[in-house]
Amino acid sequence: MTTQQAPARVAIVTGGSGGIGSAAALALAARGTAVVVHYAGSAERAGKVVAAITAAGGRAVAAPGDVAEPADMAALFDAAEEHFGGVDVVVNTAGVMLLGPVAEMDLDTFDRMHRVNVRGTFVVSQLAARRLRPGGALINVSTSVTRLQQPGYAAYAASKGAVEAMTLVLARELRGRDVTVNTVAPGPTATPLFLEGKPQEVIDRLAAASPLERLGTPEDIARTITHLAGPDGRWTNGQVLYVNGGIA
């Protein structure tokens, strides 16, 4: 008597060419998941992620798109279905961080960030709610800054607070679908997005704030993402997981 092997799971990782996104794509692929590596600006970086996955024996393709445009994201889900047969996991890492005091922030900057972080998350979450297969998982990405009240971060924290609210409600709206919805909220993590423009003394101070006395790594965050995406994370649903080494 032969035992049929379960079909491989399929993941879409938005922002898959970025620091946390690429680490998540690689970690999911290492567990046997086929990955669609989404990118908005850098086809070259996305191609490198795909090349690393395929070199290790995994399956991956890169696909472009604006996360805030429904047609682009529908095409992304179509690509996953055409290449791999469906979608089981969506990891929504795409986002921008633009900082400044409330009194000084230009509203065009505010709108640009909220278009990506809030509208983009909503568009991708809406498609995930419609198209994830039973047993699926949607994993959004927020930030521990929502709990830290750091000056200069109000607009960014507001955008990620919206992500958390959407996550908690959507998890309840998908009752009966066997789909989990969670948010991972990293603390200071050594990604290009985080490190850009920060003096070394600021980076050192943020690293020292954690009881573990270091910055997080993209791989630290990816390990939590892969847990939520896999069978061991099925009983975690409708939660915000603060992955920050104890900073908050």
Question: Following DSSP, what letter does each residue of 94-129 receive, concatenated?
Answer: --------TTT--HHHHHHHHIIIIIHHHHHHHHHH
- Measured CA to CA in angstroms, residue 22 lies from 13, 35, 95, 98, 122 at distances of 8, 11, 13, 21, 21
- φ, ψ (nearest 5 deg) of residue 196: -60, 125
Query: In this structure, what token pair is assigned to residue 174?
Result: 């998908």
What number of helices (H) and strands (E) belong to the chain? 9, 7
Active-site pick, 39, 153, 156, 242: 156
Sheet holding 240-243, edge to edge: 60-64, 34-39, 10-14, 89-92, 137-141, 180-186, 240-243
- At 225, is the secondary structure helix, strand, or coil? helix
- Give CA–CA dist 42/34, Å, rounded: 21
Residue 74 per-residue DSSP state: H
Query: In this structure, what token pair is assigned to residue 36?
Result: 């669609």
Which among 58, 57, 11 is positioned nearest to 37, based on CA atoms? Answer: 11
Catalytic annotation present for 156: yes
Query: In this structure, what token pair is assigned to residue 164?
Result: 């958390």
Task: State the catalytic residues.
Answer: 156
